[in-house]
Amino acid sequence: MKSILYTLKETLLEIFLPPICVICESKEGKMLCETCFGKIKFVDELQKCPKCSLVFYDRVPQKCPDCERLSPKFSKLISIFVYDEYGEKLIRKIKFENKLKVVEEFSNIIRSKLEKIEFDIVVPIPSYTRKWIKKGYIPSLKIARVISENLKKPIVPLIRKSKDIPSQLELSSEERLKNPKNAFEVTVRKINYRRILLVDDVATTTATLCECTRILLEKGADEVFCFSLARTPLKTF
C-alpha cells in the first residue's frame, strides 16, 4: 500500500511540477539538463569493439577481451553511453532513485541507433531484485517501453528468472561471468519470432546477455541483437 501511495505521489508531482535535472537539480524543464547531458561520454564517439561495444579509449587491444572470453552468439550489442563514474551516477539515479523517466531523454538517440537494426520484438531482461518487481519498478522494462514506442515494435516478455541471483553490479568480474549461468528461462516452449532485441540497463561483462541469447536461440529464435543503455569500458588500470 505504501509503495502505491509513493508512486501516486511521485506521479502527481511529475504532472504539476516541471521536471528538475536529476544530476544538478536545475529547473530547465528537462530531467537531464543540457550541461549535464553534455558531460555524458557516448559510446559512438569512442573507439570500441564493433560487436559488443566495449569501449577501448586509446588502448585498442588486438582482440576484444569480452568477445574472446564469452564468444557471444548475439549479432551485435548496441549501447548508448559509457558506464564510467558519470555514467554510473546516471544509472544510479535511474535504478535506485525512481527516476525512470530520465530514459526518455535518450529517445532520439535510441531511435536513430536502432532504426538500422532489423528486429521483430523487444525482450527485456528481468530485473534482479524482487523488491523492485513488487514496486513495478523494472529499469530494463522502462527502456524496452521507450524502444517499443519509438520503433513501433511489441514487447514480448519471453525471459524470466529461474533462480535468484545477486546483481551483476555487486560482483567481481570473475563472479559476473558465472553468475547468470542457468539463471534464466524462456517462458514459451517454442519461439515464433525470428529476430529479437534483448534489452538491459547496463552491460558489464555481457555474460547475462550471452546467456539469454543462448536460451533464445535454443528455443527457436533466428537472430538476437542486444541493447544496453550503458556499457562498461575496458579497464585501463
Contacting positions for Zn ion (CB under 5 A)? 21, 23-24, 26, 33, 36, 49, 51-52, 54, 64, 66-67
How far from 152 is each of 24, 205, 228, CA to CA, in Å?
A: 33, 29, 18
Contacts within 8 Å (CB) and 24+ apart, 62-65: 65/234
DSSP classification of residue 24: T
Compare residues 25 and 164 and give the one whose CB is closer to Zn ion.
25
Compare residues 12 and 24 and give the one whose CB is closer to Zn ion.
24
Write down the least CB distance from residue 70 to Zn ion, Å: 9
Write down the least CB distance from residue 90 to Zn ion, Å: 11
Compare residues 121 and 203 and give the one whose CB is closer to Zn ion.
203
Compare residues 26 and 112 and give the one whose CB is closer to Zn ion.
26
Write down the least CB distance from residue 49 to Zn ion, Å: 3
* Cβ partners under 8 Å of residue 152, min gap 6: none
Write down the least CB distance from residue 109 to Zn ion, Å: 17
Coil, strand or helix at 85: helix
Compare residues 67 and 117 and give the one whose CB is closer to Zn ion.
67
- Residue 112 C-alpha cell reads as 536513430
Write down the least CB distance from residue 23 to Zn ion, Å: 5
Q: CA 157 from chain center: how many Å?
A: 15
Beta strands in 5-162 (DSSP E): 76-82, 121-124, 159-161
